[in-house]
Amino acid sequence: MGETKLTKGSYGYIDNWKRTRLITLVLWVIFIGALLLIPMMVLGTKYNAFTVAAIVMVLPAARQAVQYIAMAGFRSGSREEYEKIASYVEGKSWMVLAADMVLASESGHMVLNMIVICNGNIYGYAPKQKKSREAIEAYLTNLLMETDVTHKKPVVHESFDEFEEMIMMLSANEPSAPMEAGSIFAGLKANCI
């Protein structure tokens, strides 16, 4: 069975996150229902401290529900596609591969199935988005400006074949002075749900 730990940027993060949140929501509903019904049946009245506690517990449960609803429309990308790209990046210290990145902005969420950070730039794969490719690239450009890395222009592909070709080319040519990808990846993770 797969890894159950939720790590931003790892393959399957979105599906695991949604599954965990759904289980948490079910547990909240059971707990709040028990906190309301059991004392009501035992004490014979709904006017008790347990009812107040149950009502207060609705707030954190509602927060969990809102987070789940916000992510409900998103899914992890294809395992086959991820493994193809991972094979190109494997063993390349100048490249970082991240998957299932849900970036939050004021104008809404955007999902990048995969991101490869190489030599201070971001190369993304984002099929079937509500946002345009240009909007996603503009958002990533703003994120790059916040890092200490020399400003570059991110490239986002909607076609997997184009993305695979780009990563294949990047993995074949080691840069003479590789730039640190860790700070860019940390910035992306900070802006992910």
- Using one digit for the tens of pLDDT, what is the confidence trace for 7-63? 888 899 999 999 999 999 999 999 999 999 999 888 888 888 899 999 999 999 999
Residues of 114-130 as b/e, b for ≥16 C-beta within 10 angstroms?
A: bbbbbbbbbbbbbeebe
3-state helix, strand, coil in the chain (%, to 5): 50, 15, 30
Collapsed DSSP state (helix, strand, coil) of residue 91: coil
User: What's the pLDDT score for residue 26?
Assistant: 96
User: What's the pLDDT score for residue 28?
Assistant: 96
User: What's the pLDDT score for residue 157?
Assistant: 93
Q: Which amino acid is at 8?
A: K
- Express each pLDDT in 110-153 by its tens digit: 888 999 988 888 899 998 877 888 888 888 888 787 766 666 78
132-137 contact pairs (CB < 8 A, 24+): 133/158, 135/107, 135/110, 136/110, 136/112
User: What's the pLDDT score for residue 1?
Assistant: 42
Strand partners for 108: 105
More confident residue, 140 or 175: 140
Measure the CA angle with vertex 101, ends 100 and 105; round to 5°: 145
d(CA 111, CA 104): 9
pTM: 0.78
- Express each pLDDT in 77-106 by its tens digit: 889 999 999 999 998 888 889 999 888 777
Q: Does residue 81 contact residue 69 with C-beta atoms inside 8 Å?
A: no
User: What's the pLDDT score for residue 30?
Assistant: 96
d(CA 167, CA 179): 16
User: What's the pLDDT score for residue 139?
Assistant: 84
User: What's the pLDDT score for residue 82?
Assistant: 94
